[in-house]
Amino acid sequence: MNSPVAIIGAGLGGLVLARVPHVNGIPSRVYEADPSPAAREQGGLLDIHDYNGQLALQAADLMDEFRAIVVEGRQAMRVLDKDGTVLMDRTDDGGGRPEVMRGDLRRMLLDSLPAGTVRWDHKAGGVRALGEGSHEVTFACGCTVVTSLLVGADGPWSRVRRLLNDATPEYAGTSFVETYLFEADTRHPAAAKAVGGGSMIAPSPGKEIFAHRESGATLHTYVQLTRDRDWFDAIDFTDSTGLVRRHRLHRFRRGHRTGRARVRRLGGRTHRADHRRGHRAGTAPPLRAADRAPVGPGAGRDSARRRRPPRGPER
């Protein structure tokens, strides 16, 4: 099977990259490991900035569709001291970083592509150069594709990156514990008041809380803990009653670069553990997590109502 442009990974970056050539008359094919678009959760809110993510959506001719999925009011932000004192309370000023649900954004991008552009259940297993700019990708299903332009949009554990260098992510010393509170305004009014109408950050050395209000009255919260691997490995993550997920933050060693070739790694310069203020890039976000699995029994009953299969590494 041949494809002039082959994109590995149907995350946000890979789908935007497929859409932009499409509106300019250039076909491409996207290969995704997930068996279907609904195979796993796609995360929470994502702020799309006017200086990067929105530029990509403009090039993709999708700004009207993007504005239709913006969750109004979510640019508001609060910063609390560790005792709950409000240090900053900024309202949504309608500025340049509107928030959307990541799943809605991915669905919008998928709907914008011709049927059959994305080949689901195609997990890249190996990549090799054939010479004269061509590459062959072998998938777990045993099938192969030969392409004259190969793009790696398959996340930090990329198979494509191996053509450029041998860099691999390393644990950055920080993990996130994720949980949800549903119907927060009525069932958890104190937490809803603390978070406010948008996002909330409660910084503290070695342990912080990030939260944001998703569509409706759902609060999506991450507790950041700076601990070594052994501390987390002592927790039984196979406990089926677990109601939260643990996210390990990984990064690349300082100075890592992707190099230059006819292979492209999307979003692939240096992934650093500097998410301390909740930054979420507009497209092809830096690595936020790996090793996601259910965790312990103490998260409260709300999350149990949202039990779904754990997500794999970010794309």
Domains, the chain, in order of start with CATH, read 5-306 (3.50.50.60)
- Whether the CA torsion 122, 127, 130, 131 is positive or negative: it is positive
The predicted-structure confidence for 203-234, as pLDDT tens digits, reads as follows: 999 999 999 999 888 999 988 999 998 888 88
**253 against 123, higher pLDDT:** 123
| Strand 244-251, strand 294-295: pairing | antiparallel
What is the rounded distance in angstroms from the CA atom of residue 83 to the CA atom of residue 80? 8
Judged on CB neighbours under 10 Å (0-12, 13-18, 19+), 203 is middle
201 beta partners: 79, 210
> Can you list the positions of beta strands (E) in the chain?
5-8, 29-31, 45-47, 77-80, 86-90, 99-101, 118-119, 124-131, 134-139, 144-147, 149-152, 170-181, 199-202, 207-213, 219-226, 244-251, 263-265, 294-295
292 Rama class: left (phi>0) / alpha (psi -120 to 50) / beta: beta
d(CA 244, CA 212): 16
> pTM of the predicted model, to two decimals?
0.76
Q: Which of helix, strand or coil describes residue 302? A: helix
pLDDT digits (tens, 9 = 90+) for 50-82: 999 999 999 999 999 999 999 999 999 999 998
Measure the CA–CA gap between 266 and 9, rounded to whole angstroms: 10
Band of pLDDT at residue 250, cut at 50, 70 and 90: low
Alpha-carbon gap, residue 299 to 177, rounded angstroms: 10
pLDDT band at 85 (very low <50, low <70, confident <90, very high): very high
Q: In residues, how long is the chain?
A: 315
